[in-house]
Amino acid sequence: MSKFCRRDMLRNSLGLSGAILGGMGFEHKALMAEPADQAPPAKVEEPVTGLPRGKFGKYEVSRLIIGGDPVSGIAHAGELVYQQDFMLQYFTTEKILETLALAEQNGINTLLMRADDRIIKHYNMHKKERGGKLQWIATSAPEQGDPVENAKRARDNGCIAMYLHGGIADRLVKAGKVDEIGQIVEGFKKTGIMGGIGAHLIETSRACVTAGLDPDFFMMTINRVNYWCSEAAEVGIFMRSIKKPWIAFKVLGAGRVKAQEGFHLAFQSGGDFIAVGMFDWQVRQNAAIVKEMLAKGMERERDWA
């Protein structure tokens, strides 16, 4: 083959490679990067200590609470059909127990997870087999049937509080059944645990307050991308008039917002606590962000619980 032909082939090959790379998205280019371009393994860091806490009824709860959606296979990954299987494959029994232990090591003293068989099993293993001390705030699990009976079972397995699932509360308000929410919450409280109301829509919480319901705490979503929540500014203004503890959730828009930004918005808007679903490798960094953020002081118009 002549030098001329070889040069043409090389030039054409390079041009084609450039065109291919130019048409690729960021993720594809990152996957094709040479190993030498990858970041070195992160060094092992000391656990976070002194994570701030607040009053939650008669309990003290860390401002950062570990949430349970990932553990339960709930990833909010849009139309990805494999997302639930992926999450459940990742969160094996050993990985769940490892993650809960990491939470405790980094100053988190409370988890917020569904009152279902999977969570009850692993919560008991964490406490009875591993000596864990995490407090449990339970989400009512709709498939378990009567929410008050669900609360009794959660209480018998160590939970300190239960709130009515936000999706259920939203639907009951839309159906004009606010009184039913009140009956359920009072049922929770009669079991001897704290009772709360979850909501994704500000109209749900507003209707409950207008109706004179008396929950021990509120669960309200807040994030800047309006993912399963009302406008953040509107939520913050509404919650200023509420004296009960507010656990803010979906603060990262189910992974659509960076931690620093999502945590700051939730706390600045008046959230007393934030419930955040985490992988094991996110636990320490999230605790460190919250500790540093609150140590600097937070401008907010709502008093802390």
Provide DSSP, 159-188. -SEEEE-HHHHHHHHHTT-HHHHHHHHHHH
Q: Which of 25-39, 105-119, 192-206 has the lowest mean pLDDT?
A: 25-39
DSSP sequence for 5-50:
HHHHHHHHHHHHHHHHHHTS-HHHHHHTS-GGGSPPPPPP-PPP--
> In the predicted model, is pLDDT for residue 76 greater than 50?
yes
CA distance 100 to 278: 10
Angle at 252 between CA 155 and CA 218, to 5 degrees: 40
Across all residues in the chain, what is the average pLDDT? Answer: 89
CA distance 276 to 273: 10
CA distance 233 to 180: 29
Span 205-224, average pLDDT: 97
CA distance 225 to 252: 9
> In the predicted model, is pLDDT for residue 64 greater than 50?
yes
* Residue whose C-alpha is closest to residue 277's, from 89, 106, 53, 74: 74
Q: What's the confidence (pLDDT) of residue 17?
A: 47
CA distance 297 to 157: 37
Span 237-266, average pLDDT: 95
CB 106 within 8 A of CB 51: yes
Span 217-243, average pLDDT: 95
CA distance 137 to 124: 14
- Amino acid in position 81: V
> In the predicted model, is pLDDT for residue 145 greater than 90?
yes
Q: What's the confidence (pLDDT) of residue 22?
A: 54
Secondary structure (3-state) at 194: strand
Q: What's the confidence (pLDDT) of residue 42?
A: 59
Higher per-residue confidence, 18 vs 288: 288
> In the predicted model, is pLDDT for residue 109 greater than 60?
yes
β-strands 59-62, 53-56 pairing: antiparallel
In this structure, the dihedral spanned by the alpha carbons of residues 275, 57, 142 and 78, taken in order and rounded to 10 degrees, is -10
